[in-house]
A and B are shown apart, each in its own frame.
Chain A
Amino acid sequence: MELITQLLIAAMAAGTPLLFATLGGILVERSGIIQLGTEGLMLMGAVTAAMTFLATASLPLTVLMVLLVTGLMGAFHAFLTVTLRANQIVSGLAMTLFGAGLSAYLGKKITGIPLQGAVPKIDLGWLDPVPILGPVLGHLDVFTWASLVLVVLMTLYLYHTSWGLHLRAVGDNPATADVMGIRVQVFRYGCVILGSMLMGLGGANLLMVFSPTWIEGMTAGRGWIAIALIIFARWNPLYALAAAYFFGLLDSLGFRLQLAGSPIPPYFLKMIPYLLTIAVLIFVGWRTKHKLSGSPMALGVPYIREQRF
């Protein structure tokens, strides 16, 4: 019992940054746009959070700054890919390289300074007697709760509202959505910006909760893992929750083995999430070889209204 609870806590702690980024990715890709800048956005989210919090010690202000910065970056990606119809892959790569460079540049002065007492926990101690889940849910921080609320909201939004139906139509068949009076470009801008903000929050979460010290390149590929998780989760927010925690669990397992003095060198334990990502993608590819992957059908295809048929 005790062990399961502990593992769950560890999985959630390591999985929540991934969850934010994956949810952001799902939102962006549901609108038919690919955003490969996740890694760069997470880094920018993290460095912005570190700088703002060190300067102001205010959590709301920190979150606001993160949303502002990554929202702006998202808007730029949207401008390039939606309005200018630039190559979405290259634009995303540029965002990752740019984010990595800028975050390293900005964060030089605060490297290695730990943040203290950054994120309050919501104490629901009365839940403790509930087996397994009680102690887990009783002491979560606000970021984790926010991510859980987000999963619920996104599920409701996508599958139980008219706007969600519209978004699915935009991602699957923008031409149809357009003639039905749905503002395709507005949806795409909105989703890219909001999704990029969520990726930024993932980075902020990583920095403020999981490892509260800014180090250059601290996301260590989590942005790319989140992109793989989108595919694994079949563009569904609920599956994203499971997928992110599963990855979080394996990530923390490696760390625990290392602490426990495992004979396997730590470098190999650290490879686990990356190798697992590859394995998962191969598994999904093998399973969906002759089936639909659940991917939005117009993913990566720019939409232009005035087109000759």
Chain B
Amino acid sequence: MDETLAVDLRQITKQFGTTLANDHVNFQVRKGEIHALLGENGAGKSTVMCMLSGVYRPTSGEILLNGAVARIHSPKDAVKLGVGMVFQNFRLVPSLTAAENIVLGETHQVWRTKAWMARKTAEIEALATRFGLPFNAGRQVWQLSVGEQQRVEIVKTLYRGAELIILDEPTSVLTPGEADQLFVTLQQLRSEGKTVILTTHKLKEVMAVADRISVMRKGKMLATLDRSATDEREVARLMVGQDRQEPRPRKARLKGPTLLDMRNLVVIGDHGRHALEDFHMTIHEGEIVGIAGVAGNGQKELAEVLAGLRMWKSGTITFRDTKWKGASVRHSIESGISHVPENRMKSGLAGSLGSVDNLLVKSYRTPARSKMGFLRHAENRLWSQGLVEQFDVKTAHLDAPVHHMSGGNQQKLLFAREIHQRPHLMVAVHPSQGLDVGATDGVHNLLMTLRDEGKSVLLISEDLDELLLLSDRIVVLFGGRVMGEVTHDAADREHLGMMMAGVV
């Protein structure tokens, strides 16, 4: 038995229905190191982490912690064994205070008196200060920023005595500045003897902070490397299975006339605050404009305004030389704006319906699809069949519920529907989220084709690589305002990061 290993996974397999999320994975983490688990979306990283923290149980295989076989049947077991997990979607109860969230699950103290809570709050604040993780413990979690909520999560694991801290995609919600701060914290944790595992698909972070790197692809563990003995290129090759492809050749842009012009736009968000403030943007025909920014800085509201789902408070929107009077989804659809929403199963597709009904969503009112209020049943099936074939959507049959399809096929179906509209402007929000490498490429190709045909795309993404790859211009949003704008050729990662953090 190797006492120096904090974690030792042996031949771990995890199956979900018919899909194999982990295929005989071996994974070793040494005590007191920062270990990065790297892989594309869907490579099986999160599954590994969830098994370590007791959310899932392996279908077969063994988990050893500190050299001993560990039976992790529930999150409670994991906590007892000193494993603390910080999930990508934070596991916090928004209506409770930070301190209440941290003491949640303690049962030996039956009565929660004021004095007891005060003592606990002090204890928590001391812990937070020691590791450089400041937040207001007495506030309700929904009032804290995302960065603060993450700190609450880390302190929560420390409070519960975690020796091994697992962070699942910790930087996906942070600004580059906040991410840097997180890395300092992680090093602090290491110096106190804690072991840290983080999952990510961002190479740069891995090289900046990890001691060792393990790479997964398609449910398999490929290799574990010392950071000092490898380079970005090798890791990237392992991760995607080939050399990271060169940027695709871009056709010269035919800069057309102005398509969309938004001026002095003020939009109120869900909670009454200003989501967009004095917002300006123009989009020309035949270009892809990327919107960069950390989630929650007005991107969602911008997309909703264009899709006709949200009214703006003041300012003007001019689309194809017509000034908009108000928000109307039908008007947006009819004037040639298509919308690939952020969460395709939540708002894009109706999971229990088949392909035909899902393809009809945007076009069922047109004369080609219905007549006098009656749908043209036979024509629509034929038309759907054509689209499904054209966009290479793999489905059992046209009436099979779309929630049976893979994410990539769902996205293809959604794109088939939206592109078929012959849009002048496509608003695509996180279009490649949750897709594997091949499907992502497919989506990127579709967007580039649209652009080359002289159509325009507004690409909202949190993936800087995607934005840099596709956009002719990138507009950076921070706090609902435009922080700046860069062209494709002049785009610089560091500079964009600074703008996303609201620094310049």
A169-B104, A309-B89 known; A179+B53 contact, CB < 8 A? yes
Q: Does B18 contact A (CB under 8 A)?
A: no
Contact with A along B42-61 (1 / 0, CB 8 A): 00001000000111100000
Q: Does B95 contact A (CB under 8 A)?
A: yes
Question: In the bound complex, do residue A162 and residue B107 qualify as a contact, i.e. CB atoms below 8 Å apart?
Answer: yes
CB distance from A174 to the nearest CB of B (A): 10
Q: In the complex, what residues of A have CB within 8 A of residue B105's CB? A: 166, 177, 180-182
Question: In the bound complex, do residue B91 and residue A173 qualify as a contact, i.e. CB atoms below 8 Å apart?
Answer: yes
A176-B93, A181-B75 known; A163+B110 contact, CB < 8 A? yes
CB distance from B108 to the nearest CB of A (A): 8
Q: In the complex, what residues of A have CB within 8 A of residue B272's CB? A: 290
Q: In the complex, what residues of A have CB within 8 A of residue B100's CB? A: 165
Of all chain A residues, which has the CB nearest B90?
Answer: A176
Contact with B along A134-167 (1 / 0, CB 8 A): 0000000000000000000000000011111110
Q: In the complex, what residues of A have CB within 8 A of residue B103's CB? A: 162, 165
Q: In the complex, what residues of A have CB within 8 A of residue B101's CB? A: 176
Q: In the complex, what residues of B have CB within 8 A of residue A289's CB? A: none
**Cα separation A163 to B88 with both chains bound (whole Å):** 27
Selected contact of A161 from candidates B56, B95, B111, CB within 8 Å: B111
Q: Does A297 contact B (CB under 8 A)?
A: yes
Q: In the complex, what residues of A have CB within 8 A of residue B110's CB? A: 161-163
A160-B113, A179-B53, A308-B16 known; A297+B85 contact, CB < 8 A? no
For window 1-57 of B, CB contacts with A under 8 Å fall at 16, 46, 53-56
Selected contact of B75 from candidates A173, A180, A290, CB within 8 Å: A180
Question: In the bound complex, do residue A168 and residue B96 qualify as a contact, i.e. CB atoms below 8 Å apart?
Answer: yes
CB distance from A99 to the nearest CB of B (A): 31
CB distance from B321 to the nearest CB of A (A): 36
Question: In the bound complex, do residue B16 and residue A165 qualify as a contact, i.e. CB atoms below 8 Å apart?
Answer: no
**Cα separation A304 to B110 with both chains bound (whole Å):** 27
For window 56-74 of B, CB contacts with A under 8 Å fall at 56, 74
Of all chain B residues, which has the CB nearest A160?
Answer: B112
Q: In the complex, what residues of B have CB within 8 A of residue A181's CB? A: 74-76, 79, 105
CB distance from A119 to the nearest CB of B (A): 33
Give the interface centre of B75, B88, B96, B111 by most chain A CB atoms within 10 Å.
B75
Q: Does B496 contact A (CB under 8 A)?
A: no
CB distance from A105 to the nearest CB of B (A): 38
Q: Does A305 contact B (CB under 8 A)?
A: yes
Question: In the bound complex, do residue B85 and residue A179 qualify as a contact, i.e. CB atoms below 8 Å apart?
Answer: yes
CB distance from A280 to the nearest CB of B (A): 24
For window 80-97 of B, CB contacts with A under 8 Å fall at 85, 87-89, 91-96
Question: In the bound complex, do residue A168 and residue B76 qualify as a contact, i.e. CB atoms below 8 Å apart?
Answer: no
Q: Does B246 contact A (CB under 8 A)?
A: no
Q: In the complex, what residues of B have CB within 8 A of residue A160's CB? A: 111-113
Q: Does B106 contact A (CB under 8 A)?
A: yes
Q: Does B347 contact A (CB under 8 A)?
A: no
CB distance from A243 to the nearest CB of B (A): 21
Q: Does A65 contact B (CB under 8 A)?
A: no
Q: In the complex, what residues of B have CB within 8 A of residue A297's CB? A: 94-95
Question: In the bound complex, do residue B96 and residue A165 qualify as a contact, i.e. CB atoms below 8 Å apart?
Answer: yes
Q: In the complex, what residues of B have CB within 8 A of residue A305's CB? A: 55
CB distance from A3 to the nearest CB of B (A): 41
Give the interface centre of A165, A169, A180, A308 by most chain B CB atoms within 10 Å.
A180
Question: In the bound complex, do residue A179 and residue B75 qualify as a contact, i.e. CB atoms below 8 Å apart?
Answer: yes
A162-B107, A177-B104, A179-B75 known; A309+B46 contact, CB < 8 A? yes
26 CB-based A-B contacts, threshold 8 Å? A160-B112, A161-B111, A161-B112, A162-B103, A162-B109, A163-B110, A165-B96, A165-B103, A169-B96, A172-B94, A173-B93, A173-B94, A175-B91, A177-B93, A177-B105, A178-B55, A178-B75, A179-B87, A180-B75, A180-B105, A181-B75, A181-B105, A182-B104, A297-B94, A297-B95, A308-B16
Residues of A within 8 A of B (CB): 160-166, 168-169, 172-173, 175-182, 290, 297, 305-306, 308-309
